[in-house]
Amino acid sequence: MPAAPAAPAIDRAPEDRLPAEPVCGSLSDVARAGRELAWLDSREETIDAAHSQKLALLAQQTERAKQLEVDGQAMTFAARRAALETAAAKWCHKHRRTILEGDTKSRELTHCVVGWSSSPLGVGYAEGCDAKTAAKKLDKLVDAKSGLRGFLSRALAKFQVGSAGVAELVSIKVSISVSQALAALKAGKVTSKDLKKLDLVEVPPADHFFLKPKPYSVPSIEG
């Protein structure tokens, strides 16, 4: 049986390398260590690149496998899932009273559970706003000219470490804590109107429809 072809030199570690427990006794040994370290970096990059290519190919194959045809129309699993969930939600919202029994908020069906879950009071960003716009509003609210950072820098100016002011040694980042704003709202310290000044809005409790599929099984046929 013919011997397997030798691996390319770049794939093999340098032959003239230090032992398993390396000890450098000369500048030449340091150079040998450096050469092997360079090889390790190069080999690792090659392995990682090949692995990334395999993963990319596998991802493409996976996405192609997640395709199906319904009534002659091709679609992805995600599109089909969204269509089914939307159709179910539309019907269930319309017939909620007939679906639920007594004071229950869900109903178990053969292959799924449908129902409504309640979300608690929350605080979020106003439409078209985000953390950056909220931080700018907070800046102007505290100090229209220099903002919150300027205000804090002036407050820190009287403190020093060595000959440097504390303000020179710290980085001040202005951000809104949505969770703390919610806590203040619940405590009655701020109102919905107050939140709007910071591009925040009160999100009232609400019911959200859900459809949770059960583990799929094919009914057995007993002879």
What is the rounded CA–CA span in Å between residue 106 and residue 102? 10
Task: Kindly state the tokens that stand for 132.
Answer: 């950056």
What are phi and psi for residue 74, nearest 5 degrees? -80, 140
Within the chain, residue ranges assigned H as helices are: 27-65, 77-94, 96-99, 131-142, 147-156, 178-186, 192-196
CA angle 74, 78, 80 (to 5 degrees): 50
For residue 222, pLDDT beyond 80: no
Q: Give residue-wise pLDDT tens across range 126-154.
A: 999 999 888 888 878 877 677 777 777 77
What is the per-residue pLDDT for 9? 63
Cβ neighbourhood burial of 110 (10 Å; 0-12, 13-18, 19+): exposed
Q: Tokens 């970096």, residue?
A: 41
Report pTM.
Answer: 0.64
Give the pLDDT band (50/70/90) at residue 223: very low
- Higher pLDDT, residue 220 or 217: 217
Candidate from 180-184, 192-196, 203-207, 215-219 with smallest mean pLDDT: 215-219
